[in-house]
Homo-oligomer: A and B are copies of this chain.
Amino acid sequence: MKEYNGYKYVNGGVCAAKGFSANGLNCGLNPVKEKNDLCIIAADVLCNTAAVYTTNKVKGAPITVTKNHLASTGGFSRAVIANSKNANTCNADGIEKAEQMCSLAAAELGIAAEEVIVASTGVIGQILPIEPIKSYIKPLCEGLSYSGNESAATAIMTTDTVKKEVAVEFVIGGKVCRLGGMAKGSGMIHPNMATTLNFITTDVNITTRMLQKALSDITKITYNCLSVDGDTSTNDMVCVLANGLSSIPEISSEGAEYDIFKTALYIVMSEMTRMLAKDGEGATKLIECTCAGAPVQECAITVAKSVIRSPLLKCAVFGEDANWGRILCAVGYAEADFDIDKVDVDIASSAGSIAVCRFGAGVPFSEDEAKRILSEDEIQININLNQGTASATAWGCDLTYDYVKINGDYRS
């Protein structure tokens, strides 16, 4: 994990920032009683809110409802309600059910339904039963706590094997601020969307416009550089709620304060991106591909994403085989403009680093050393195009028997 001066990792996830409470429970959507399936995040005061959504033409009903709500409030919200097990997508009454989830939460919290963001994840194309949610909305809201982040983070998990929470503390204008988030997502993850569900909260005081700008910029170099399987989901959403309770002067333009905030957002989002990649369905290894020496950043992003998406490379990493030809092949079919004959490739991990390709051609290397490097569970593929100064990182995972098993099973 990279170290950033002046930023400190803290516990608390979405409850790390001042004035955010959360709760999660099992309402019966998931028959496994021990697995939470419904959660809520509530803010003490109205929050400036930014969001990015899936680019899939098939959009889950919760996406439509959330978009409408943020449009009607002009970018404000006070709560998030989310469920797992059913995506509430491609069914007859999805919009109605998503609206109902918001109304139920709003009534309990004493706020307007339009101030609620709604999200669902799970199987596509089935009717969402609203009864379980209706029955449990009261205990869900009554149980809201400033330390309820974990029960919420586990409620959005589907095939995830670990919960994903990150939070950091930093200082703006002498005041301590915090920003934290939770995420879920394991399969159906691919660039050009904002990965399944991600909720971020902060007590930084920042305009909706600057919040949206920071979120869109950071999404481009974090979540949108993540691929587990090349499938772009229908329900992906990242949203950030900023309640301003740190009582710093409002950030309304670019400058030093904005940069501090944006870096905090990058730390949390890139860290969650790594966690999502590492917990990809069936994954045994994280693959982190950095493309440096690119003429422009867009080119670096395209190349890095092309590499982490290659099924052949993913299988080779699973097999711990330094099959660099597959890396160069994936660099070669990346749709970007560069000279392939200048490309260098190194493979690295905490066990060391080896050069496998120089000027687009193979160089001799020790297979034993390569094997040792690839036996670690976090693998770096470092590409240098040697034709510029731009760089980017993309995150993925290996392709394993378990990915096939998980997704070959009936209606997972």
Task: State the A residues within 8 Å of B (CB).
Answer: 55-59, 87, 89-92, 123-126, 187-188, 192, 229-234, 309-312, 315-316, 318-319, 321, 323-326, 328-334, 338, 340, 357, 360-362, 399-401, 403-411
Contact = CB atoms under 8 A, between A and B. Distances in A.
A158 to B, nearest CB: 13
A236 B377 CA distance: 33
Nearest to A323: B411
Contacts of A311: 229-231, 311, 403, 407
A174 B230 CA distance: 51
In the complex this chain forms, how many copies of it are found? Answer: 2
Contacts of A410: 319, 321
A410 to B, nearest CB: 5
Given A126-B362, A234-B332, A400-B404, 12 more contacts: A57-B332, A58-B328, A58-B332, A90-B362, A124-B329, A229-B311, A311-B407, A312-B407, A318-B404, A399-B404, A401-B401, A401-B405
B361 A232 contact: no
A67 to B, nearest CB: 16
A87 B323 CA distance: 14
A125 B315 contact: no
A91 B328 CA distance: 12
Contacts of A333: 55-58, 192, 231-232
B230 A328 contact: no
25 contacts: A56-B332, A57-B338, A58-B333, A58-B360, A90-B357, A90-B360, A91-B362, A123-B325, A124-B325, A125-B324, A125-B357, A187-B312, A229-B312, A231-B310, A231-B311, A231-B312, A231-B326, A231-B330, A233-B329, A315-B404, A316-B407, A319-B407, A319-B408, A319-B410, A403-B404
Nearest to A229: B311
Contacts of A55: 333
Nearest to A124: B325
Contacts of A315: 403-404, 406-408
